[in-house]
Amino acid sequence: MSDQGGPEDLDSIRAEVDRLKNEVEKLEARPQKRARLRKVFAVVFIVLAVLAFSAATPGVWARRTVYDSDRYLAVVGPLASDPAIQEALARQLTQAVFTAVDVQAKVQAALAQRAPKLGFVAGPLTSSLQGFVQDQAQKVIASDQFQRFWLSANETLQKQVVAVLDGNSAVLTVQGNQVVFNYLPLLNDALTQLSGTLSAILNRQITLPTITPDTVPSQAVASLGSALGVTLPPTFGSVTLFQGDELTSVQDAVSIFNKTLILAIVLFILSVALALILSTNRRRTLLQLLTALIVVVVLERRFAIAEANNVVSMAKPANQAAVQAIIGAFLSSLLLATKRILWVLFLVLVVAVITAPYPWAVRARAWVADVSRAGLGAVRGAELGPAAVWIGGHRDTLMLAGAVVAAIFLLFASISLGWFLVLAVVLVLYELAVYRVSAASRMETAEVGI
């Protein structure tokens, strides 16, 4: 006779079952809790990556543009050939000379001595002379010699500004409580080519001195003033870059900027890596990150364009064309850099999408594989698949679509001659492939019908 358990045994069994259920629930809850934490941290690192990227993108462009001499000259070098810049330089040069020499006073003195009754024409005559000198100055500024001098002066300026920003203040001239850049050699070069015109205006032969970037500014100003027969102010031919008490603050700000830029780059790389490592769905995280970065770049481009327009609108009306040219040169450099970034991000996004396990992506990859096999089959004379039959039935539509896509791309994209030739070759190869596959498909269909 077998023993039968009592109520106590049943209660203990139920208790054990309940205990085991609780253990199982706890064990199952642990992975879910870890998964939730991983998702939360992945989102946090995506946000950090986007913030770091939004700071690093314009920061890297600004540092490379200012600190790299070749890049800086590539931006500012062509400005000397811009008509708006030439007009502004000629106007500023003429105004500086006429103010320093006081041409109107000399004209009034000459008229008072020789024709007192014509004193009232001193103002209009001076304006006419100023317009004539400005035209001559603009021709000088447009010359090849001035273009070379412009590059040399800007190369010197770039090196000096970089040195100052890095803490070496000795390379720039200090006048009183101001740190200035001396452009007197550039001004003197233009005046030298106008010496004949100035001699006629001042009614005496003028021989301008040789002034180089190495000439001591005070000596250069004194020599030029002596040649013109006037006393020039000490600040003649110089532009203030920083107030003396602001220089230390500017250098500290640049130092912080450089350190912050490095931190932003490192933070971006680490955040992207950690977001992908912690993500429970890495492809989805990558797509979210790429989409966010593309949005950031687009917004930064729009902000840069709006800010550039704002800067131009705040300039004096007479200088707006020149300011537009200068801002446009730097803006074009930024837009080109961000356009390249957009292309890279978009390419990675497309690759991530088309290699995904989504049903439509799988079907698209299968269709591409069938088309590729059909193309090879058409070339080798092998048996064609259903994709080739479909291409044969839609040959004209596919060929027209290829041409339309290429035309739209050319309409909205600004590309060089080299890339245009690449696009043309790709289009021709595409059209030939469609035509060849279609011809092979129709031939095979005709043979089957026979």
> What average pLDDT does the structure give for the chain?
78
Identify the band that residue 247 occupies on the pLDDT scale cut at 50, 70 and 90.
low
The lowest-confidence range among 11-15, 218-222, 265-269, 317-321 is 11-15
| Structure tokens, 444 | 């095979």
pLDDT at 125 over 90: no
Q: Is the CB of residue 170 less than 8 Å from the CB of residue 76?
A: no
Three-state secondary structure readout of the chain: CCCCCCHHHHHHHHHHHHHHHHHHHHHHHHHHHHHHHHHHHHHHHHHHHHHHHHHHHHHHHHHHHHHCHHHHHHHHHHHHHCHHHHHHHHHHHHHHHHHHHCHHHHHHHHHHHHCHHHHHHHHHHHHHHHHHHHHHHHHHHCCHHHHHHHHHHHHHHHHHHHHHHCCCHHHCEEECCEEEEECHHHHHHHHHHCHHHHHHHHCCCCCCCCCCCCCCHHHHHHHHHHHHCCCCCCCCCEEEEEEHHHHHHHHHHHHHHHHHHHHHHHHHHHHHHHHHHHCCCHHHHHHHHHHHHHHHHHHHHHHHHHHHHHHHHHCCHHHHHHHHHHHHHHHHHHHHHHHHHHHHHHHHHHHHHHCCCCHHHHHHHHHHHHHHHHHHHHHHCCCCCHHHHHHHHCHHHHHHHHHHHHHHHHHHCCCCHHHHHHHHHHHHHHHHHHHHHHHHHHHHHHHHHC
Can you give the pLDDT at residue 105? 74
User: For residue 348, what pLDDT band results from cuts at 50, 70 and 90?
Assistant: very high
* Average pLDDT of the residues in 95-115: 72
Nearest partner of 283 among 349, 197, 214, judged by Cα: 349
Comparison of pLDDT for 52 and 227, the residue scoring more:
52
| pLDDT per position as a tens digit, 37-79 | 888 888 999 999 999 999 999 999 988 888 888 888 988 888 8
How far apart are alpha carbons 211 and 192 in whole angstroms? 10
pLDDT category of residue 422 using cuts at 50, 70 and 90: confident
Comparing 86-90, 336-340, 378-382, the range with the smallest average pLDDT is 378-382
* 367-376: b (≥16 Cβ within 10 Å) or e: eeebbebbbe
